[in-house]
Amino acid sequence: MNFFKKKVKRSDSGQQWKITKDCLSFILESSRSVYPREFAGLLRVDDVLKDTIIELVLLPGTISGDSHAIFKLHMRPIDFSLVGTIHSHPSPSYHPSEADKALFRKYGKVHMIVAYPFDEQSWQGYDGNGEMLKLQVI
């Protein structure tokens, strides 16, 4: 089974999301650093280029476990440049669970899941409904 084959679409709004290579590298390294626990954070876009993810934001009190990451969303700052979530899976599957999809529906427009081995091919973007979404690395 090929876990890394991607079927992707553009967002329902037609928006093409992008992520900087530096931000993606930081996300992958952060995920590797907490393995075998899950890593979690929020995604911030550039104030001018509102479709480009430039930064990872860590929330105080986030809990990382072997099969879960619990966000303390009440701790997020009032910041309209936060557009979604990122979390890791300690397995080779980046497919969202039902709990992941519930989080996606609750918060944000764009989400990412990175999977073991946390490299450039083991991640996927999702929209707020849990549908695969293309993120261009720039």
Question: Which of helix, strand or coil describes residue 96?
Answer: coil
Check: CB of residue 124 under 8 Å from CB of residue 17. Answer: no
Report helix, strand or coil for 100.
Answer: helix
Q: Is the dihedral of CA 11, 120, 30, 69 positive or negative?
A: positive
Q: Determine the 3-state secondary structure of 11 from DSSP.
A: coil
Amino acid at 46: D
HEC assignment per residue over 28-90:
HHHHHHHCCCCCEEEEEECCCCCCEEEEEECCCCCEECCCCEECCHHHCCCCCCEEEEEEEEC
Active site residues: 38
